[in-house]
A = this chain, B = another copy of it.
Amino acid sequence: MTITITAFERSPDRGRGLARDMRVRWALEEAAQPYEVRLVSFQAMREPAHLALQPFGQIPTYEDGDLALFESGAIVLHIASHYAGLLPDDKNARARAIAWIFAAVSTMEPVIVDRETARFEEGKESWYEERLAHVERRIRKRLGELSARLGDADWLDGQFTAGDLQMISVLLRLEGSSLLEEYPNLCAYIARGKERPAYQRAFEAQKAVFLAVSGGGQS
């Protein structure tokens, strides 16, 4: 049985590894599980075949035999629960690592995504810049809280877990903005994640998709 995931045929991030299939790729690399990728166009994402797998018309999805899953948080948790390498053995530590997966996707990511949504959907409004100040204040509040919790530790709760994988993936969406630079320990945390060989294999795999589709990166 082969694990198959879906990813954007043409990722809006131009191969920067910010699309959510990257998180699943990274988890599968940490778990040393091979996988196949089915690329989907934006048009196909709105069609019944894809909506049957992903009711909100997004990527990634995950298929393994009879099981079909959606939501990157759920997929990463599924991988972490079934293969070694992404959750601690101690049952309390496992529960806490799962809490960090949820914190990443439901407390941290929404304020960060809001900044991207504002730019794409409201960027031409006269009030865009004014509103951006509200959005960035909310991001700073969450980054400050996360920074305070992380302190000088390497990972959020002892060893590297699926919670760190998901949190670092979310924080990466801010790379290149000045927001992250205000929190040197979060920058170092992200850098530690990116140094992991599993991250790098996943990154190269998703970048290869972009380069192939865009004609060798010449576009």
Contacts and interface: CB of A to CB of B under 8 A. Distances in A.
Interface in A91-112: 92, 95-96, 98-99, 101-103, 105-107, 109-110
Contacts of A114: 110, 114
Identical copies of this chain, number: 2
B107 A109 contact: no
Interface stretch (A7-15, A62-70, A180-188, A205-213): A62-70
Interface residues of A, number: 46
15 contacts: A51-B148, A55-B149, A56-B107, A57-B145, A58-B107, A66-B92, A71-B103, A71-B106, A74-B98, A74-B101, A75-B99, A78-B98, A106-B106, A110-B110, A122-B134
Given A67-B95, A110-B113, 19 more contacts: A51-B145, A56-B142, A56-B145, A57-B145, A58-B107, A66-B92, A67-B96, A68-B96, A69-B95, A69-B96, A70-B103, A71-B102, A73-B102, A74-B102, A77-B98, A77-B102, A102-B102, A117-B138, A127-B127
